[in-house]
Structure 1
Amino acid sequence: MSLLLLGYVALLGYGVWTARLPPLALGVLLVISLLTFAVYGFDKSAAQAGRWRTAESTLHLLSLAGGWPGAWCAQRLFRHKSRKASFMAGYWATVLLNIAAVAAWVGKLVPAGLLGG
């Protein structure tokens, strides 16, 4: 995972350096990742207390939107959702889709104007 995160950071850095990604994108991705981390924490707390839970689809949507690094950290720290195979399969699909989308944008496979870049 460390190599994947390092590669992702390098891809984002390259995207900003080549002006394919606006610098604001890094801040937005950081906020989404922190939000995802917090949602996992709230969901773990709710699970332990028997309260209303966050839908798995919401957790996956946050990961897909770029919050997968925060989700990964939360899964490890809170020991939450990391053992459920079906959830983890969905999580890894969101990671791969997010990285593929960023790579397509940075690699000029997607027109910059289409995504606002």
Structure 2
Amino acid sequence: MPFVIILILLLNLITFIIFGYDKQLAKNRTNRISERSLFLLMVFGGIIGGILGMLVFRHKTNKNSFKLVVFGIVILQLALLYFGLDFFKRFS
């Protein structure tokens, strides 16, 4: 279990850093990290780092379609967490 926690913390840190890096790329008007890549990082466990990156770096906060997908990811992960914990509680 501690390995999973460390992995999730590391993924959130990486996601946060990548949001900051993409913000710098946006300021310099160079090639950017795709939104799909940012979403995938958040889907696979970096949602907290992604949201913090959005807030701290003020990145993608004006783009409503992006915020809508982030909201969907949060809802999906909360549902998976709820049903996953319920499933394990029933069978343990």
TM-score class, shorter: 0.7 to 0.9
TM-score, structure 2 as length reference = 0.87
The TM-score normalised by the length of structure 1 is 0.70
Please show how residues 73-112 of structure 1 align to structure 2 within 5 Å: 73-108=52-87
Q: 1:100 deviation in Å?
A: 1.9
Q: Which runs of 5+ in 1 are unaligned?
A: 1-21, 113-117
- Provide the aligned C-alpha RMSD in A: 1.6
In the alignment, which residue of structure 2 is the partner of 1:43? 22
* 1:99 CA displacement: 2.1
Partner Cα distance (1:107, 1:30) in 2: 23
Could you list the structure 1 runs, at least 4 aligned residues long, displaced by more than 6 angstroms after superposition. Answer: none
2:7 is the alignment partner of 1:28 = yes
Q: Which residue in 1 is equivalent to 2:47?
A: 68
Structure 2 unpaired stretches of 5+: none
How many residues align? The count is: 89
Q: How far is the alpha carbon of 1:94 from its aligned partner?
A: 1.1
Percent identity over the alignment is: 30
